[in-house]
Structure formats: structure tokens, C-alpha cells
């Protein structure tokens, strides 16, 4: 812990940010391409033509643009957070909020086909957010002090899944919003994060 009482939680490294951005960009590019091809096949054919080279170039260009946007968004979300247990304050970058202003939590991951990160995204009442690397394929990423401080922040938070007008009590929020965590599930994710995917073994050549 620093002399000022803040427990600083290291943000994702550049490599980890690249992995997160790549996973999101790949999914968005694939989804957008499928939507265009199946939703407006004539328009897609007019744009892309019959040239395989043009189609490949279009995919690469689209991925590059989407990746650039995703990397910027990931960079904004991964401002270094810190926790002040005694003051009951949580800091994202330079902005400080009380624990009770933490209202949302979501798990994030990179490309599940490769050994991936396990990342927790925390969201404030004002809409700010940060992403915290909880575990890597090598094990827990947080020190005991960092983990304990983060647990205290979550315990004092107002983290809960959203609800709809059809479910005003939030009874079925875990069904309607399966990726949004409540406080118990967030604590479990921090203290015992899901195991990272293991790489598939290649078959030995015959």
C-alpha cells in the first residue's frame, strides 16, 4: 500500500490490451460481415464485386478500422484503478467515487480459442468504467493486498444486474442479463476466477 492509503491495481499491459481489442474486433467484424452479406447480399456484391483480392482487402481494412476503435475503447476502460479502504473510495484514473457508486460488474475475456485473460469490468453510477485483470493463464494476477482491497470495494458497492419494466424486482435479471454480475458473483469472480481456457494440443503427425 502506498503512503497515501491507496491500493493501486495495475492496469492491463499493452499486450493484454491488444488481446482484448483483438477478441472484440474479431467478433464485431465477423458479425458485421455476416449481417451485410445475409441482410443485403445485392449491396454487398455491388461493393465487393467478384474479385477475391478485393474481398480480402475489404475484410482486412474493416478489421483494421474496428480494431483501432476497439483499442481506443479498451484504453479508456483500462485507466489504472485504485482503492482506499479507510475512506471507502474507488478511483478510476483521476476520478474518485464512493464504493456505493459502483453499480455494475461484467466479466470480459479475449479470444477464447487461445489461452486468455480473465478480466473484470467495473462500472460506476456515472457511466465510467475500468477493466481489471483478475487472472491470466499463469494464475492469479492480483496480489493478496490488491485482491483484499478490491473485495472490500465490491462489498461496499451497489453492484446489481439491470432490470426491465417487465421484471421490476430484478428477479429474473440473471436470465435476462447473464453477463451482468451481482455482488456475490463478483466476489466469487475476484477470489476464485474461472480457469482460463487451455490451449488445444496438436495431434502428432502420423
Rounded to whole angstroms, the Cα distance separating 36 from 30 reads: 10
Question: Does residue 62 sit in the same domain as residue 97?
Answer: no
Q: What is the pLDDT of residue 68?
A: 72
pTM score, whole prediction: 0.62
Asked if residue 178 lies in contact with residue 124, where contact means CB atoms within 8 angstroms, the answer is: no
The residue among 75, 90, 119 that closes a domain is 75
Nearest to 90 by CA among 16, 135, 13, 146: 146
2: which residues sit within 8 A by CB, 6+ positions away?
Answer: 8
Tell me: pLDDT of 35 over 70.
no
Greatest mean pLDDT range, 75-84, 112-121, 192-201: 75-84
Say if residue 113's pLDDT is above 50.
no
Lowest mean pLDDT segment, chosen from 62-66, 84-88, 193-197: 193-197
Structural contact between residues 82 and 96, judged by C-beta atoms closer than 8 angstroms: no
Average pLDDT of the residues of the chain:
74
Strands 129-136 and 118-124, how do they pair? antiparallel
112 and 167 belong to one structural domain: yes
21 is a domain residue: yes
pLDDT for res 75? 61
Show which of 48, 75, 102 is a domain's final residue: 75
- Position 10 scores a pLDDT of 76
The H or E element containing residue 67 is: helix 52-77
Do 78 and 11 meet the contact criterion of CB atoms below 8 Å apart? yes
110: pLDDT strictly greater than 60: no
* Residue 149, domain member (yes or no): yes
- One domain, residues 120 and 45: no
* CA atoms in the 13 A half-sphere facing the CB of 70: 20
137 and 158 in a common domain: yes
What's the confidence (pLDDT) of residue 136? 79
Question: Does 95 reside within a domain?
Answer: yes
Amino acid at each position: 500500500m502506498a503512503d497515501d492509503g491507496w491500493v493501486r491495481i495495475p492496469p492491463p499491459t499493452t499486450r493484454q490490451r491488444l488481446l482484448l481489442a483483438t477478441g472484440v474486433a474479431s467478433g464485431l467484424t465477423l458479425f458485421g460481415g455476416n449481417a451485410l452479406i445475409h441482410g443485403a447480399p445485392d449491396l454487398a456484391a455491388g461493393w465487393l464485386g467478384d474479385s477475391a483480392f478485393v474481398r480480402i482487402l475489404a475484410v482486412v481494412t474493416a478489421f483494421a478500422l474496428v480494431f483501432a476503435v476497439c483499442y481506443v475503447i479498451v484504453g479508456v476502460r483500462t485507466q489504472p484503478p485504485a482503492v482506499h479502504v479507510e475512506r471507502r473510495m474507488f478511483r478510476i484514473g483521476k476520478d474518485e467515487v464512493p464504493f456505493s457508486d459502483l453499480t455494475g460488474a461484467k466479466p470480459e475475456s479475449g479470444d477464447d480459442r487461445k489461452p486468455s485473460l480473465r478480466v473484470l469490468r467495473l462500472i460506476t453510477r456515472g457511466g465510467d468504467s475500468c477493466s481489471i485483470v483478475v487472472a491470466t493463464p499463469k494464475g492469479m494476477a492480483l496480489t493478496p493486498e490488491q485482491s483484499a482491497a478490491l473485495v472490500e470495494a465490491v462489498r461496499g458497492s451497489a453492484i446489481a444486474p439491470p432490470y426491465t419494466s417487465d421484471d421490476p424486482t430484478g428477479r429474473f435479471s440473471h436470465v435476462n442479463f447473464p453477463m451482468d454480475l451481482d455482488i456475490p458473483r463478483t466476489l466469487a469472480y475476484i477470489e476464485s476466477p474461472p480457469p482460463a481456457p487451455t490451449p488445444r494440443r496438436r495431434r502428432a503427425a502420423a
